[in-house]
Structure 1
């Protein structure tokens, strides 16, 4: 149904930070200390008493030394040469060991693509800008905090919509008025008139407050639309999500160009964000003019719909990356 994808934990390449990020340790490497300088070789090797000569074999060609005869001292010059050579080799070994250690440490600190011969091609992730949660009003809890029983997003909802990745062209139709989108523009995502009327009535009955949205098209032709719908409480948003708009196997209402859609079973469960309910769906082959991917997210008092479509096939990795990042922003 869809191509096999890499880990979505990796796909979310741009972590979501709070407005005042916590400092982290920098990635600089620790310099390797140079080995301590060795002491200079002594000018004279200390005199060592020669052991008493005890012949172990008799060679007829070499006269033996009588027991008790005086033995001449060993040549000092030769000992000095041996000692100095030994010191030089020891110093060289220490230096090469230190240099080798620093090189190995540097290699382990490099990114894979920084090491010649180990570069890898992109897996399709988009280059999102630094993503930061907007600040909360003083004394206000996070939407999914235990103390926030209504799940209210106290931050401006318009600042909780995921920004477009680098190189994308913004969709002016989703800018709305002052950043708020008309409900009819959101309802235009659904395939039939009857479905648009039914969904619209659900939103009215459940007290929809407003909709924030953003859309863009990347150079490869992928069109992304993100809608955030805010209600009065987490209880209401959950009801609109399920059983209102979603079910386990398929969405309750088809989107334009995706009349035959089923649950995306290749979206890894380990990519879930705590306390954010996700329903991801993928169009069933044969696709129409475009392949359509979609996901509903329920987080506190807010319901999100993310749609990606592309002529031919819509790639799984950027879709999963977008869903995970938007989940983190709402969490």
Structure 2
């Protein structure tokens, strides 16, 4: 009986070809079943390894030699099935033919390498001669800037406070900035007295008589600051008697002529006030009110009291008085006529300055005298302010 190897790699000792692939147990019921050969295990997946710099070739498996027989303890990959045989002759084991060379496994393709981060742009090269800025240096500059900014802010606040303080203070109270005094007096705020309802002012064209409807005593110029009132004159508290006004003229003949003049022209009343300023200047102001402005205009045109170069009637202590050419024309008040005189040098114990004013129905006389000379500025100031009250 010839032994043959089927295509499945199993040996049929009976000379038949087993096409089922299972051992023939019917011929040998007493033959023990052969152990089942486990099917070849599926190839394990190749573990993923970190992407190498270059793929390594798959290791080649050495092929078994055709002449070397496999050990009996380990069955070949394809164990032949043994058919039933007579018990006496021992089965002859035919070595399996050499297994076909396994196909080489395809090379493991490594996963694509992870993309590397894009390289950062290199900083521009430093310009020659310009040192690189360091963080510490920047911080020092920032601190220096903050300090200087704080200093500038403090100086700005202090300067604003100083400027406000200087602006709120009177210039005359600041040392070095005060304007040198020209001798002017400080008068209180001047306010004309209220007129009766429906009564026009003395210079109003509707006032044909040119009358001062307000209280004449309220039209007297008040004393300047620090002046001592003249107690011999009534001021706002009363009226001055005509004989007291005439008594201040030097010549007896002049006093008698003035008495007749006042009687003929209808003198109504006289308001008078006087004071002595801090510089020693004695001032007297007289307001003589007549019936109408026509009477006052006639007295002025006839030059009863005034002349071109000197007044008609000389006051006591002022026998030589002449027109004061230094009186500024700009100081004259519209509607009020001025006649200003001053005693030239050499004068006596006192220098006398006097002015006659006419406004409406009122004739005014202002007299100032001072030892060693009466200043021109306070006199001009007094004349202008009294003229504004009358106009």
TM surpasses 0.5? yes
How far apart are the structure 2 equivalents of 1:182 and 1:274? Answer: 30
Structure 2 partner of 1:308? 368
Q: Any idea what SS the aligned residue of 2:387 has? A: helix
Q: Any idea what SS the aligned residue of 1:141 has? A: coil
Kept in 2, the 8 Å contact 1:298–1:304? The answer is yes
CA deviations 1:85-127 (Å, max 9, x no partner) are 3244234324423432442353344333322334466443334
Runs (5+) with no aligned partner, structure 1: 1-48, 58-72
* 2:255 is the counterpart of 1:206: no
Give runs of aligned pairs for residues 45-84 of structure 1, distance below 5 A.
52-53=124-125, 75-84=134-143
The two structures, once aligned, show a CA RMSD in angstroms of 2.9
1:280 to 333, 336, 340: 340
* 2:330 is the counterpart of 1:270: yes
Give runs of aligned pairs for residues 145-224 of structure 1, distance below 5 A.
145-175=204-234, 179-218=238-277, 220-224=279-283
Structure 2 partner of 1:103? 162
* 2:312 is the counterpart of 1:252: yes
- Note the C-alpha offset of 1:159: 1.6
After TM superposition, the structure 1 stretch with the greater mean CA deviation from structure 2, 175-184 or 302-311, is 175-184
Q: Going by fraction, where is helix more abundant, 1 or 2?
A: 1
- Note the C-alpha offset of 1:56: 5.6
CA deviations 1:161-182 (Å, max 9, x no partner) are 1223344443343329961222
- Note the C-alpha offset of 1:154: 0.9
Larger radius of gyration: 2
Runs (5+) with no aligned partner, structure 2: 1-120
After TM superposition, the structure 1 stretch with the greater mean CA deviation from structure 2, 224-233 or 85-94, is 85-94
Q: Any idea what SS the aligned residue of 2:232 has? A: helix
Q: Any idea what SS the aligned residue of 1:173 has? A: coil
Kept in 2, the 8 Å contact 1:209–1:232? The answer is yes
How far apart are the structure 1 equivalents of 2:354 and 2:291? Answer: 24
Structure 1 partner of 2:200? 141
Kept in 2, the 8 Å contact 1:50–1:74? The answer is no
Structure 2 partner of 1:33? none
Inter-CA distance 209–86: structure 2 relative to 1 (3 Å threshold)? same
Kept in 1, the 8 Å contact 2:218–2:236? The answer is no
How far apart are the structure 1 equivalents of 2:251 and 2:386? Answer: 27
Structure 1 partner of 2:378? 318
1:293 to 353, 377, 388: 353
CA deviations 1:21-55 (Å, max 9, x no partner) are xxxxxxxxxxxxxxxxxxxxxxxxxxxx9852276
Higher RCO (CA-CA < 8 Å; seq separation 6+): 1
- Note the C-alpha offset of 1:271: 2.0
